[in-house]
Amino acid sequence: MDPSASSRRAQQVELASAEEEGFDPWWRSSPFETRWFEDFFAFWWKETTVPCQGVSIVRDQGSLGADDYVGIPDADVVPRFPARKKAVLVRMSPFFTDVDRRLHCATADWELTKWVDHHIHEFQRDNPTVSVFGVDGRLPHPGLICVHTIVSTADGWILFSLRSERTDYFPRSWSTTFEEQVEAGATATAAQQDLTVFDTIQRGLKEEFGDGLAQRGLTATCLAVGREHIVDEERGVLSCAVLAAARLDAPLRMVWESLSAPGQVEDIGEHAGWMACRFGTQADVNLLLKMMHPRRKVGLGPALVKDHARLGVDVSVHPDSSRDIWAPSGFGWHPTSRPRLYLWSRWAVRERILKPR
């Protein structure tokens, strides 16, 4: 899964300039398996089970504000909730041991990260040495950490959401995960809200699927930690992403019921519809990704998956989904959803959740 030319070039330019100044990325001297998966650069990824409860979020890298960078107007980034801080990944500890799996983070206000996303070209012009790709000794890019969680049910379904047209990021596109920002600020009872990646997933599960499902049993595995690199003419998304696989102790029927319960789901307006797929083999996942590659201009949708003769995939659609979810042309992918599903399938084969073929 190769990255776009612009993503690869951005990394090459940053690492070359850093080397000239005697700086190195923190992951280069570690035994991490770095790799591009389309426009997601993994600082670490592994086909093994790393429980999300054991991945700590540590605020030990200070705080970041407009004064740390050039060209950010103070008036444009005034925080609405000063105590609500987001986590910014600076570096991480090796994940190959059973202890000390940590994400070492700075904190920043959401308004700062949002301003940078919407003024990415201006920001990069004024701050040419800010590090996107983890160069030690340089100020980190103020992109928040977002946990992207692939959710499977007790009866083997994987959930896909069609993002609402009201969603700020990539509306009317399919996501293979639910996304939740890491909250690093204090609460009334704790010095820090999310102490582990599992904390973020549990909180997000409640917001996305309702209280009833949030109280069910849940297991979650960390699959990768990396950087999304999506820059177009108008904006950029350079968030750090933690990819996780979560399994609900509930069948798909209960998920659909929870999403239909009035007042249960806080983030209900973020989605135009839901689809669930049940894969038997990794070969079916790979075929889906190949057939519905963005360059082929073939959209993803339940009609296309259900009726395709070569795909051995079961499909279910949430009954409250918008009617156009069945559009024959389908919809595009969220830019990094394909790598998420691909990485999940590799892990699922190792865990014997999927057969190779």
Counting as low any pLDDT under 70, the low residues of the chain are 31, 95-99, 262, 267, 309
Quick one: pLDDT at residue 31? 67
**What letter represents residue 184's amino acid?**
A
SS (H, E, C) 176-231: CCEEEECECCCCCCCCCCCCEHHHHHHHHHHHHHCHHHHCCCEEEEEEEEEEECEE
Between CA 227 and CA 258 the distance in angstroms is 32
Q: Kindly report whether the global pTM for this prediction surpasses the value 0.85.
A: yes
Between CA 63 and CA 107 the distance in angstroms is 5
pLDDT digits (tens, 9 = 90+) for 130-156: 999 999 999 999 999 999 999 999 999
Q: What is the number of residues in the chain? A: 357
Element (H, E) at 291: helix 282-291
Quick one: pLDDT at residue 17? 95
What residues contact residue 16 under an 8 Å CB cut-off, 6+ apart?
none
The residue extents of the domains of the chain are 5-350
